[in-house]
């Protein structure tokens, strides 16, 4: 079992600070490109890089806002924290957790790492569990679940620290999109662990989490985000997911296109470079428009083409105009967006 200690928040102000120390991206839950509020659907991403993982009963993952001055670390006025509410789990295989996959299973392989975070419960002293899993990619070696740990928490923000020995990957087969995942669990199994997770036990609880850090070594150092800056953290999140939005009002034109038939306007959309060519999702075609010769033509269908890590071509089908006509293209509704997801 890993060593487990409760670390009081006074320690967070100490050095060292350096970019890349924390392998968790968005550990302060500040980036929320999806406009996430709450979900009960397993595998759904909420705050950037964090997703709900659950089975059985009901698990609700939501974003919560700190009242100014109430964040757990003096001098670090964070905006948001994550809340996980569980109810109705009953069987040994039931569980509820939030998880972040860290790219490449080679990360920390064969090393001792320290996982730390702040947590509090709504009432009582329920358990929170920690599991680290190594996923070797599709067609790779079987998943390895490591060093499950369980800690009773209180109704006040406290920093908890766990030492975990990450196994060697010697002899393993690694394929694409491998990862080292961190799972923070509020409910797992009745008396035994589920799928190798920490045996937290069945709990109907509300647990809040903030300031998650995974770093090399056996000591929990001062918390910082993966990049150490607001701009850097957003860019790190956008390497995996980006939501392209219109203006806050009116039309959000984003490029220039041309009609390669009387009804199809072709254009190019760029984004920050992604981990791999992303999966692209559009909202309703009617939310996109092509303005040619001063007339806005709303989309009736929309489709992507030639997706790369840097961007894509896409076509909007509209009312007819002249072949070869140029157009200013973009989104015609404030609720419209394009998603480019290269999540693990």
pLDDT in tens, 299-314: 999 999 999 999 999 9
Residue 194 in this model has a pLDDT that exceeds 80: no
Mean per-residue pLDDT over the chain, rounded: 92
Q: What is the pLDDT of residue 208?
A: 98
Contacts of residue 110, Cβ cutoff 8 Å, sequence gap at least 6: 166, 167, 168, 169, 170
| Tens digit of each residue's pLDDT (9 = 90 or more) over 317-342 | 999 999 999 999 999 878 899 999 99
Structure tokens at 119: 């947590």
Predicted model pTM: 0.93
In this structure, the number of other CB atoms found within 10 A of the CB of residue 150 comes to 18
Domain boundaries, the chain: 4-238, 241-341
Q: What is the pLDDT of residue 191?
A: 57
Q: What is the pLDDT of residue 2?
A: 45
In this structure, the number of other CB atoms found within 10 A of the CB of residue 6 comes to 13
62: confidence class by pLDDT, cuts 50, 70, 90: very high
Contacts of residue 252, Cβ cutoff 8 Å, sequence gap at least 6: 245, 246, 330, 331, 332, 336
| Tens digit of each residue's pLDDT (9 = 90 or more) over 66-106 | 999 899 987 788 999 999 999 998 877 889 999 999 999 99
145: confidence class by pLDDT, cuts 50, 70, 90: very high
| Tens digit of each residue's pLDDT (9 = 90 or more) over 32-47 | 999 999 999 999 999 9
Which letter does DSSP use for residue 233 in this model? H
Residue 192 in this model has a pLDDT that exceeds 90: no
∠ CA 166-171-175, nearest 5°, is 85
Bridge partners for 85 per DSSP: 60, 206
User: Cα–Cα distance between 260 and 269 in angstroms, integer?
Assistant: 17
Q: What is the pLDDT of residue 89?
A: 86
Q: What is the pLDDT of residue 171?
A: 98
What is the average pLDDT across 151-176? 97
Residue 282 in this model has a pLDDT that exceeds 50: yes
Q: What is the pLDDT of residue 190?
A: 64
∠ CA 56-64-214, nearest 5°, is 75
- The helices-and-strands tally (H runs, E runs) of the chain is 1, 22
Among 132, 150, 147, smallest CA distance to 1 is for: 147
CATH topology of domain 4-238: Jelly Rolls (2.60.120)
Do residues 301 and 332 lie in contact, with contact meaning Cβ atoms separated by under 8 Å?
Answer: no
| Tens digit of each residue's pLDDT (9 = 90 or more) over 242-272 | 999 887 666 788 889 999 999 999 999 999 9
Q: Can you spell out the DSSP letters for 85-148?
A: EEE---STT-EEEEEEEEE-TTTTTTSEEEEEEEEEESSS--EEEEEEEEE--TTSSPPEEEEE
């Amino acid at each position: 079992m890993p060593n487990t200690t409760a670390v009081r928040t006074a320690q967070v102000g100490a050095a060292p600070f350096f970019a890349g120390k924390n392998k968790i991206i968005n550990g302060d839950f500040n980036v929320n490109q999806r406009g996430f509020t709450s979900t009960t659907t397993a595998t759904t991403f909420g705050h950037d890089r964090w997703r709900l993982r659950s089975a059985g009963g009901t698990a609700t993952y939501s974003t919560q806002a700190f009242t100014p001055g109430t964040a757990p670390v003096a001098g670090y006025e964070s905006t948001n924290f994550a809340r996980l509410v569980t109810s109705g789990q009953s069987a040994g295989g039931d569980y509820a957790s939030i998880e972040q996959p860290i790219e490449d299973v080679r990360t920390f392989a064969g090393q001792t790492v320290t996982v730390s975070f702040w947590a509090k419960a709504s009432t009582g002293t329920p358990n929170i569990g920690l599991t680290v899993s190594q996923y070797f990619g599709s067609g790779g070696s079987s998943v390895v679940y490591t060093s499950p740990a369980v800690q009773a928490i209180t109704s006040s923000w406290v920093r908890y620290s766990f030492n975990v020995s990450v196994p060697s990957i010697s002899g393993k087969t690694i394929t694409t999109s491998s990862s080292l995942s961190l799972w923070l669990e509020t409910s797992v199994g009745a008396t035994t662990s589920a799928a190798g997770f920490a045996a937290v036990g069945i709990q109907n609880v509300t647990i809040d989490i903030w300031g998650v850090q995974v770093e090399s070594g056996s000591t929990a150092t001062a918390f910082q985000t993966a990049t150490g800056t607001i701009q850097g953290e957003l860019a790190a999140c956008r390497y995996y997911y980006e939501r392209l939005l219109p203006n806050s009002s009116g039309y959000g034109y984003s490029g220039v296109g041309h009609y390669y038939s009387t009804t199809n306007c072709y254009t190019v959309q760029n984004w920050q470079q992604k981990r791999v060519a992303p999966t692209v999702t559009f909202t309703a075609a009617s939310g996109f428009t092509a303005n040619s010769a001063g007339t806005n033509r709303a989309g009736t269908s929309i489709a992507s083409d030639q997706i790369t890590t840097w961007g894509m071509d896409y076509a909007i089908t509209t009312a007819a105009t002249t072949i070869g006509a140029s157009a200013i293209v973009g989104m015609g509704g404030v609720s419209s967006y394009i998603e480019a997801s290269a999540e693990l």
